[in-house]
Structure 1
Amino acid sequence: MPTQTKQKITLWEFFQSLGKTFMLPVALLSFCGIMLGIGSSLSSRDVLTLLPVLDNTPLQLLFTWMSKIGSFGFSFLPVMFAVAIPLGMARDNKGVAAFAGFVGFTVFNLATNFYLTTKGILPSVDPLVLKANNIQTVLGIQSIDTGILGAIIVGIVVFLLHERFSTIRLPDALSFFGGTRFVPIITLLVLGLLGLLVPLIWPWFAMGINGLGRLIHSAGAFGPMIFGTVERLLLPFGLQHILVAIIRFTEAGGTMDVCGHSVSGALTIFQAQLSCPTTHGFSESATQFLSQGKMPAFLGGLPGAALAMYHCARPENRHKIKGLLISGVVACVVGGTTEPLEFLFLFVAPFLYLIHAILTGLGFTIMSVLGVTIGNTDGNIIDFVVFGVLHGLQTKWYMVPVVAAVWFVAYYAIFRFAITRFNIKTPGRDIDNSTTSEKSAKAASSSKSGYDTPGILVALGGADNIVSLDNCITRLRLSVKDMKLVDDATLKNLRAIGVVHVNEHNLQVVIGPQVQSVKDELDYLIAQPSV
């Protein structure tokens, strides 16, 4: 693709892009949580008493190793965010942006350490002094614990510096330091100054986050419901990751002393308890915002909705949509990825999506009221087994199948009634549900992704119409020159689940789990010289 002039991104695009960058560290954190969960559960006294065959040196060394490397995500989460944000948001020279993110985060904490040292607060090992000033060791540096919020600020500042200075031209005598080499240099200076301000301004940030946490927790049992419902409502806009990060990683999700350390954020508390050998059981106040709340909708509700859509399809079309629905259910139940199912009804029946959002939030509250304590991030069958079943009856995992069954029946009844009563055009309801040409079907079958990517490119207005192309878990995210050239109907005929027009130049095409392969094939096609 020829070099394009960078378009100025809108505030909406900025927050969408920011939220998307959270997925890289969160995905690793989720896997680390599984490793930590398996390792800690299978080496616990309760499990060894129940299964003495596991009590042998080779297996216990393996489980200890799993716990050790699984704790990586918990130990280095802030620096992962500081690197991932500029890496994900930068439109070119991503490696430089990531390197500058690490430089910025380290210098940020070194500058804060310098300020505290000149004030005579550091160095110190007095626990009262450290606690009073919210000081933790970050990358071996004693600094104010700004947590994920501080890392996000660093990542955003580094991204802005990268966008502004990555193409800077310096005088000939200094030309060696110009261009991309200037990005970590200016990062060093700017974050070095910003770190000096942290001890002065951070108490105000902490007060704001703590106030949000008190507001959420003052809602009692309805706090998790509000969180779960709003998270689903933000999902179509790609903004849910910001809300989730605030609850999972900041004081808004609670603060607790675990193994002698004060930790904040629902997920951080949960993983700290996982890795703490003296902790038995998990905090209900933390897990009420985690995996368990999603399980009624993910393991029961959405599969019930999928069955209703199948039964409501025309008999002659059911074989055509069976694969689509089954793959969506598998992605939801096994992978915790719900968009392939949700986008089947979001656009044709927004009121059904609203009901789904409310029922998802209600699932959070029900799990909390029942005292279930299953953590992690995804709400899928893996989380249910690893963090529920393997940790014994104290997690009350046995309540999940009961509530999920109720949600399955409720979703099935609601969706079947609504689809038939209001004649909602869910998949298979049209007389001829497939208008994809024989040529497109052949192209799809010959591609690695299973999609007709040349047809998708044409429907997007061609390579010359695409300014930028990226993807998240299930969606292509694009900027285009002329939105009028985008053919939504053709994209849907080419198996796109949905098309979201963000503004006059930006759109999202919902593909599903194979989105990365589709994006890679589109990149290859766009890079080909035009004939």
Structure 2
Amino acid sequence: MNKNKILSILSNLGRSLMMPIAALSAAGIFLGLSSALKRPEIIELLPFLGNEYVFYAVSMIGSVSGVVFTLIPALFAISIALGLAKTDKETAAFAGFVGYYTFLVSASILVKSGFIAVDNLRVASILGVETIDMGAVAGILTGLIVASLHNKYHNIKFPDAIAFYGGKRFVTIVVIVVMALVGQIMPFVWGPVSNAINLLGELITSAGQFGVFIFGFLERLLIPTGLHHILNSVFRTTSIGGVLDGVEGALNIFLQNIGQVDMSVLAPYTRFLAQGKFPFMIFGLPAAGLAIYQTTPEDKKSRVKALLIAAVAASFVSGITEPIEFAFMFIAPPLFLFHSIMGGLSFMLVSMAGVVIGNTGGGLIDLVIWGVMQPGSNWFRVILIGIPFAFIYYYTFKWYFTKKGIVIESTDEELEYIDSPEVNEISSDTKSLNIVKGLGGFDNIVSVDNCISRLRVDINDSSLVDESLLKSTGAMGIIKQSDKHVHVVYGPAIESVAIGVKKIIKENN
């Protein structure tokens, strides 16, 4: 397997993990609000929250939101199978859940048989099954196996007498068989694997604040590849991110214990979460945006201004940084390296300051819900760190752009219309058609998916990609992961872009 193919698989895996992580983030907001509104200090400030009906409603929202976090392995199994499947994705998603549950039951049978010592294994009730608890790893493993089986067998054909069991139906059959075997094997191998994962987590923890710096540095540096999603998911959902009372993963620990324990107990885990992002997302990158605008020639400021306002707002409010990062990433690589180093410092300094703010965002919404509204979070220290960050980013970007004479070209110019009558008969959505054309045309596109900020496209030939045409549609950056895989960054508007492109492709088939 060559390097490009491995990178493509990892990129697709990172994209697949974003689906459940996005769900966790959304559920986390409601859980955070519920936790904050039940605090005695908040109820004293807002007495109506003490009303039994209001309190019941708030508690119900918190309990329902919290359930999502107990389903992480199942969500991973479904989303990875869905994301890595090349076609018939709905079949793969169904098989993902069937495979995960089969694994749980199979492992449970072995655990209860007495044929294996379970003293060194954690046994828990998962989806009503008393079985070994491998946490998110079980879901990830299941998703990878199911996706591989699905891609290999979803088109299999049998003789007429048993043709009914071919194709999509055979996927579920083979998944049940394989995952039943995996369930029999994993109890024997999980002990050493679990110990190795825990050891890695201990090594990172023993590195202290330097380990936090390395995490923050890599979390930013991997942005162009999309592999930062994998790094985040590992720390958020496995024992590498920490273990507390049997709960694994920094995000799991924080969200399942917020409001239940003193905030200081959660500090070793939140250092890998949203708190490390605030200084550069709320302060640093907006200041960089101002510097970029001020160094732009007067005749181009009006168009660049619109681009920067949207990009800065995404970073400041919701913690989506790719729009502003991709504005300078390729035209000023040293600045992106500087930004990655500042990301590491941001995580480290906030941790050293004793800040305790969780969740996954990093924008103003998370700061308010998980910081300002949570007593003991020390959220104000983020501002003390963030203000110097703003000045450092501003003067560094202004100096570099001025010295190099760099100018960001706006991508919101008039769209270049496709003049092919045959194509225009398909749809009036010119932007989507231009994106398709920019990707090399319908015949060059194998599949299209998206994550939180970018299109992720499997193609036949990357040399046919027209970057200038894609940028004319609003793309903020184009990353050729390999000869067969391309990322096109659109920022917060990605959902509508992806829907339009998929619609156009479907109409053309």
Shift of 1:418: 0.6
* 1:500 alignment partner in structure 2: 479
5+ residue gaps, structure 2, are 419-426
Call closer, same or farther: CA 1:350–1:451 in 2, change over 3 Å: farther
Residues 143-154 of structure 1: pairs in structure 2 closer than 5 A: 143-154=131-142
Residues 263-282 of structure 1: pairs in structure 2 closer than 5 A: 263-274=247-258, 277=260, 282=265
Aligned amino acid, residue 422 of structure 1: K
Q: Does 1:356 align with 2:335?
A: no
Shift of 1:436: 4.1
Shift of 1:450: 9.4
* 2:310 alignment partner in structure 1: 327
Shift of 1:395: 0.7
Q: Does 1:177 align with 2:159?
A: no
- When the two structures are aligned, how many residues end up with a matched partner? 499
* 1:119 alignment partner in structure 2: 114
Shift of 1:488: 1.6
Shift of 1:332: 1.0
Q: 1:337-362, CA deviations, whole angstroms, 9 ceiling, x for partnerless residues? A: 10000000000011100100110110
* 1:232 alignment partner in structure 2: 220
* 1:77 alignment partner in structure 2: 72
CA contact (8 A) 1:301 1:412 kept: yes
* 2:492 alignment partner in structure 1: 513
Aligned amino acid, residue 496 of structure 1: A
Residue among 176, 180, 184 paired with 1:188: 176
Shift of 1:283: 1.0
CA contact (8 A) 1:38 1:66 kept: no
Call closer, same or farther: CA 1:60–1:451 in 2, change over 3 Å: farther
CA contact (8 A) 1:374 1:388 kept: yes
* 2:368 alignment partner in structure 1: 385
CA contact (8 A) 2:19 2:451 kept: no
Residue among 439, 443, 455 paired with 1:460: 439
The 2-side partners of 1:110 and 1:482 are apart by 44
Call closer, same or farther: CA 1:451–1:346 in 2, change over 3 Å: farther
* 2:207 alignment partner in structure 1: 219
CA contact (8 A) 1:308 1:415 kept: yes
Q: Does 1:242 align with 2:230?
A: yes
Shift of 1:529: 4.5
Q: 1:317-352, CA deviations, whole angstroms, 9 ceiling, x for partnerless residues? A: 111111111111111122211000000000001110
Q: Does 1:405 align with 2:387?
A: yes
Segment drifting more, 510-519 vs 378-387: 510-519
Aligned amino acid, residue 390 of structure 2: F
* 1:444 alignment partner in structure 2: none
Secondary structure class of the residue paired with 2:491:
coil
* 1:3 alignment partner in structure 2: none
Shift of 1:404: 1.5
Residue among 338, 353, 358 paired with 1:370: 353
Call closer, same or farther: CA 1:169–1:221 in 2, change over 3 Å: same
* 2:84 alignment partner in structure 1: 89
Residues 245-264 of structure 1: pairs in structure 2 closer than 5 A: 245-257=233-245, 262-264=246-248
Identity over aligned pairs, percent:
38
The 1-side partners of 2:356 and 2:298 are apart by 42
Residue among 127, 135, 143 paired with 2:123: 135
- Give the TM-score normalised by the residue count of structure 2: 0.93
Call closer, same or farther: CA 1:381–1:97 in 2, change over 3 Å: same
Shift of 1:479: 2.5
Shift of 1:527: 3.4
* 2:460 alignment partner in structure 1: 481
Call closer, same or farther: CA 1:439–1:507 in 2, change over 3 Å: closer
CA contact (8 A) 2:37 2:58 kept: yes
5+ residue gaps, structure 1, are 1-8, 123-128, 441-447
CA contact (8 A) 1:273 1:282 kept: no
Aligned amino acid, residue 273 of structure 1: N
The 1-side partners of 2:115 and 2:464 are apart by 64
Residues 6-155 of structure 1: pairs in structure 2 closer than 5 A: 10-119=5-114, 132-155=120-143
CA contact (8 A) 2:284 2:394 kept: yes
Segment drifting more, 26-35 vs 39-48: 39-48
Runs ≥4 residues deviating over 3 A: 276-282, 433-440, 448-451, 527-530
Shift of 1:121: 7.5
Shift of 1:47: 2.2
Segment drifting more, 521-530 vs 338-347: 521-530
Call closer, same or farther: CA 1:437–1:82 in 2, change over 3 Å: closer
Secondary structure class of the residue paired with 1:508:
strand
The 2-side partners of 1:411 and 1:187 are apart by 51
